[in-house]
Structure 1
Amino acid sequence: MNPTTNDAAGYHAGAADSVYARIALRFLPLLFACYVMAYLDRVNVGFAKLQMLNDLQLSETVYGLGAGVFFLGYFIFEVPSNLLLHKIGARRWIARIMITWSILSMCTAWVSTPLQLYVVRFLLGIAEAGFYPGMLLYLTYWFPAHRRGRMVALLTAGNPVSGMLGGPLSGFLMTSMAGVGGMYGWQWLFILEALPGILLGIVVFRHLNDRVADAGWLSAEERAMVQRDIDMDNTSRTHASIGATFKSGRVWLLALILFCIIMGSYALSFWQPTIIKGTGITNPTLIGILTIIPYTAALLSMILMGRSADKHRERRWHVIVPALFAACGFVVCANTAHSAVLSVVGLTMVAMGVVSALPMFWALPTSFLGGAGAAAGIALINSTANLAGFISPTVIGALKSMTGTLSSGLYLVAGTLTLAALLIWAFIPARLVNR
């Protein structure tokens, strides 16, 4: 069906575009800011590592496990969290997530033993469980499929933006705050970067609407048009129940594909500062500034990829090509350990690939998941796949401790990204997702 005919009678395409632009303007800036803070609080341990390992006498293996154990708590509570969001509303649940995770992230400043690091990171995963899939689910309440690709890309742009802002900010805080109040710079990093998340949680509670029917800032006719678009979009979905979702081989296949992509995403997030430091650059501020380059390129590529996917109604190759590009970037990084310029080139390829592939991936499951099945399916795929966030830093850290180099771990991640591309090409039919 032509997408313009999905809008309610009496609304031509231009009027519908105007309504959806207003919806995007109301929610996307806030959700974007929340995602920036979520990702920053999740991975700033990668920058803190540059100092805290020496200060606390921790090994690379302990760091890898501490970074990754976050995702065990995330995995356990992801599906229940998303189902609760679907039941009680995004406003309350996303606000709760943001406030609790920010407090726990702040607590990382006072860890002093490996066990304390593991416990805080595990609890942080529990607190944040359901956040990103919850926001993806929230977008399905407001945007039909043919309008959602660009919205997901704009939301997920918080990933590279957090890297662009977080790198220089983290480096600056670690350098300038060292010794203030008798604390290390990395301690102030955790404390100061957690505060905005608490404030944003309060804003979310006051500002979000749970349903289209609650949007008093839209006219009755506009609310009816949006709701009809969403209802018509849901009629084409094949997995609307929780039971069908858990039994679907396609859902589990997509979880495996996302797992492979996330292996690359967190290899970048947790090890990028270490890769740059390995070229001989040791100043945390300069390392932070250099991370701007990969994430700036990634932001541009993500936006362009989202527009292209929506324009051409093509989803599969918009994931396959970025995944393969990122794999090539990891191979470059593995072979240029002593060249800062070439390492940054490789990291830029990685960032452009994985950051573009992730939002494009979510067009695949949301094309056939609907209703409660969407809440459960999105959470199931995301939680299972995010176990890669545990395995990626843990395995790479162990390999680095054994071999003294990151190369073997980077080759491993390049292989998982290649596998993701092959699985999509071989097993995800275009007719299912290209709409």
Structure 2
Amino acid sequence: MSGYNAVLARNTENSPTGIGPYSQSVAFSHYNNLSAQLPIDPASGALVAGGAKEQAEQCFKNIKTIVESIAHVMEDVVRVTIFLKDIADIDVVNSVYAAYFPDYVPVLTTVAVAALPMNALVQVEALISNGEGTIPQAPQAGDLVKTVRNTENAPVSTLSAQTVAFSHYNNLSAQLPIDPKTGKLVAGGVKEQAVQCLKNIKAILEGIDVPFDDIVKVTIFVKNLSDIEHVNEVYTTFFPDSAIARTVAYFPARTTVAVSALPMDALVQVEAVVSHGDGTPPQIVEDRHGIVIKANNTAHAPLHALSTQTVAFSHYNHLSAQLPLDPATGNVVGGGVREQTEQCLKNIKAIVERVGHVMSDVVKVNIFLKDIEDSAALDEVYTVFFPGGVPARRIVGVSALPENALVQIEVVVSNAEGTPPEK
């Protein structure tokens, strides 16, 4: 595929090599996907001594080392995701985070989860812009710039931008149910909070003149998994948003995660990834229809009324998180975590193949485990599907999963051919 973008996996000895079969950084086109970093001292392979502050410092040191090893700087970070064992540690971890981003701030998502690998207190993940792209022998350095924007019609934070665009994607900070006028959580329960989260997202998109239906992926973090039906009631009042989207019943790809706690003791938080047809300057401004969203489903994987299995835009495919459901019955497969992991990955493989791709096109894998101790058993199956250990990866332990599953897996897939208009 000469002349096409290529998957570029890289590692450095100056940062932890990982506790599983994955690469530290996987670049494709104009983004670098980093594996979530634990507070591991690369010299000893052990967690650093101390509490959340020391662990956060080591996580960011590891990220900075990886970023510099691929000839980038911390200002190239577009998104940061922070996973905490205890939400009470948020202020001390934010103080460390702020020291690494003294001027420019990326978009940010922070949640507390049930468990982290190695019983860590903190885990940090980053997405990096990649101006030079990954077309062999065809560097594009200097062609693209980040565009950072905020609006007073959505909550403003000194720690994060509301949206950071690079190339053909806008990455939004996860939105809490904060009234932008008061800076406080809205009154009411989970339905009212879900409405506010989605209102905030819509306000951000209107501030950058992007339609709501340009969202390609949504992640919903809920405090109580039992609240998801109430959230879904609200969700369907926002999607589909336009007449065109309603005609084709378009829903973005979606992942639902039950977390142990959210900032400000919120009940729900919503994160969105948005297509950006115009790209970022000094790229030539393109017609908004020059690159199109392509949504696909296959009967060989589980179908869901409120999400599309995969949504492609430009050079990435975003998949909805897959549960261990047998697509023929709609039920969770029998057995333990090995059998459930295999079914999740079979579903992913069916979706990937439906859009003309192969598993080696996967650049990032996010794994949610009911029991973090199942990681080793999961890896036995995982390495069959990813024998080279190329994709970047993240594992977190969650308090609950839909359908009472033991595991849920989502992936991001490279899309070398892009998404040009239909002929």
What band does the TM-score fall into relative to the shorter chain?
under 0.3
Q: TM-score, normalised by structure 2?
A: 0.26
The structure whose residues are more often strand, as a share, is 2
- If asked which structure has higher relative contact order (CA below 8 Å, sep 6+), I would say 1
Q: TM-score, normalised by structure 1?
A: 0.25
